[in-house]
Amino acid sequence: MSGRHIHIIGAGMAGLSAALQLALSGEKVVIYEAAPFAGGRCRSHYDRDLDCRIDNGNHLVLSGNTAVHDYLYLTNALGTVGGPGKAIFPFFDLVTGERWTVKPNSGVIPWWLFDKKKRIPGTNLRDYLSLAKILRVADNDTLKGFVKQKSPFYSRFLEPLIIGALNTEPEIASASLFRSVLAQTFGGGARACIPLIPKIGLSETFVTPCLTVLHQHGVEINFYHRLRSMMWEGDCVRQLAFNSETIEIDPQDWVILALPAWFMREVLPEVPAPNDFRSIFNAHFRVDCPPLEHGFVGLIGGYSEWLFLRNGVASVTVSCAERFRDFTQREMGALIWEEVAAVLNLDVKRVPPYRLFLEKYATIAATPQQDARRPSSYTGWKNVALAAEWTATGLPSTIEGALRSGMKAAQVVMRWK
Ligand SMILES: Cc1cc2nc3c(=O)[nH]c(=O)nc-3n(C[C@H](O)[C@H](O)[C@H](O)COP(=O)(O)OP(=O)(O)OC[C@H]3O[C@@H](n4cnc5c(N)ncnc54)[C@H](O)[C@@H]3O)c2cc1C
């Protein structure tokens, strides 16, 4: 074990991923987190009114997310995820009442598109082939050319996929980021498209198992430590000033900043960082009804996008929630309940206990302009690296991107041993 310490600021997915890689490589790691818990934007808590654990928001990850798989493997958490166990995406049209499933086949050639019965109702082969244009897009292209409001292919497939994956309005969303998502999921066939859903909650899958491994490797975690500023000597950080204490940094030590983009301008304004964000709204309803066949369903034609039903809680995601800024949260809750009741065949008049969450800075806006502001994990400073979903991962703001950024930051640190 080397004598140096690696100080990681922020215990979200990116910070935990960096800590895990470094701790497993024998480095001495210390984590500082402003909140009293780890997980950042990917966490669960006990809700007293609903009397159960809920997530801050539904997170959908797929088997093609290789960093997620490796992270779960290294933290012994593969057994904490469930889901349908196969590549299947059920949908319900809130306007027409139609139901269908999208089932990519195995292998990289999408044979399912050639079978009318397997395609989304109202779509034809040409619609899907038109997506091939995505292979030729440039870094500054948006998805505007793919927006065809009146086509069922757009409203039933492309629009929900773009908004769900990029959390950004399709007209301004980055085409190359969307291409990366397609390559990692549908591009890999059924094997890469199996939905992975935490059996209990996000924390039980993505946070607690990792903290256990970190603890076993002697990693120190300091909660209630909000970084205020850093003191520099040349291109080397020598002090970290937290709300509660100041830590001296040895010249051989490293600092990994695993912080949200909006905080960067306070501690490191020299680093370009995204400055446009999108929110996600989540509603959790305590319901009493039979389970959904696949645990979740995509919703078309309403406000809700994805509904997950788990352990008596129906949780609904509304991405890019600024579209609904004229509604109060209570109005949104009522509108969403109507949709939940329709899908689950529940009495719409009997509104169950519910909890609403608005994550205002859920993700960066996945536009070409914001993508161009994403820096690499390597900063050029002597002992500072970056880890966060908003760094240049080539992916939108996702758990996969955050975990990869943590791995990259760890590689930077290990290269300079
Ligand atoms: C509602 C919602 C739904 C989402 N859905 C999906 C999904 O379906 N699939 C998917 O892959 N991704 C999804 N995401 C995105 C995913 O959660 C994030 O990309 C990922 O969790 C970001 O991790 P991070 O470590 O980069 O950042 P963060 O989680 O923001 O971690 C940063 C950490 O730094 C701490 N911190 C902040 N300031 C300070 C300070 N000054 N000093 C010390 N610590 C500080 C914070 O408390 C936090 O713990 C969703 C996000 C939200 C909010």
Q: Say whether pLDDT at 268 is over 60.
A: yes
In the sheet that 220-222 helps form, which strands lie side by side, from edge to edge? 220-222, 28-32, 5-9, 254-257, 384-386
Q: What are 365-380's pLDDT values in tens digits? A: 999 999 999 999 999 9
Range of the domain at 138: 105-192
Q: What are 195-229's pLDDT values in tens digits? A: 999 999 999 999 999 999 999 999 999 999 999 99
What is the pLDDT, as a whole number, of residue 329?
85
To the question of pTM greater than 0.95 for the whole model, the response is yes
What is the pLDDT, as a whole number, of residue 330?
87
CB of 159 within 6 A of ligand 1: the answer is no
Residue 179 near residue 45, CB atoms below 8 Å: no
Asked whether residue 326 falls in the same domain as residue 351, the answer is yes
Asked whether residue 347 falls in the same domain as residue 379, the answer is no
Split at pLDDT 50, 70, 90, the class of 326 is very high
Cα distance between residue 72 and residue 64, in whole Å: 13
Taking all residues of the chain, what is their mean pLDDT, rounded to a whole number?
96
Average pLDDT over residues 23-30: 98
Q: What is the CA radius of gyration of the chain?
A: 22
Q: How far is the CA of 173 from the centre of ligand 1 (A)?
A: 20
Mutate to test the pocket of ligand 1, among 41, 58, 247, 400 (most ligand atoms within 8 A of CB): 41
Q: Say whether pLDDT at 150 is over 90.
A: no
Asked whether residue 309 falls in the same domain as residue 160, the answer is no
What is the pLDDT, as a whole number, of residue 265?
83
Where residue 395 sits, what CATH number does that domain have? 3.50.50.60
CB of 358 within 6 A of ligand 1: the answer is no
CB of 11 within 6 A of ligand 1: the answer is yes
Instruction: Calculate helix-pair angle for 399-415, 13-24, nearest 10 degrees.
Output: 40
CB neighbour burial string for 91-129, b if at least 16 within 10 angstroms, e if fewer: bbbbeeeeebebebbeeeeeebbeeeebbbebbeeebbe
Number of domains in the chain: 3
Asked whether residue 286 falls in the same domain as residue 392, the answer is no
Split at pLDDT 50, 70, 90, the class of 2 is low
Cα distance between residue 42 and residue 207, in whole Å: 8
Proportion of the chain above pLDDT 90, given as a percent? 95
Split at pLDDT 50, 70, 90, the class of 99 is very high
Asked whether residue 382 falls in the same domain as residue 259, the answer is yes
Average pLDDT over residues 278-307: 96
Asked whether residue 260 falls in the same domain as residue 134, the answer is no
Is 258 inside any structural domain? Answer: yes
CB neighbour burial string for 368-406, b if at least 16 within 10 angstroms, e if fewer: bebbebbbebbbebebbbbbbbbbbbebbbbbbbbbbbb
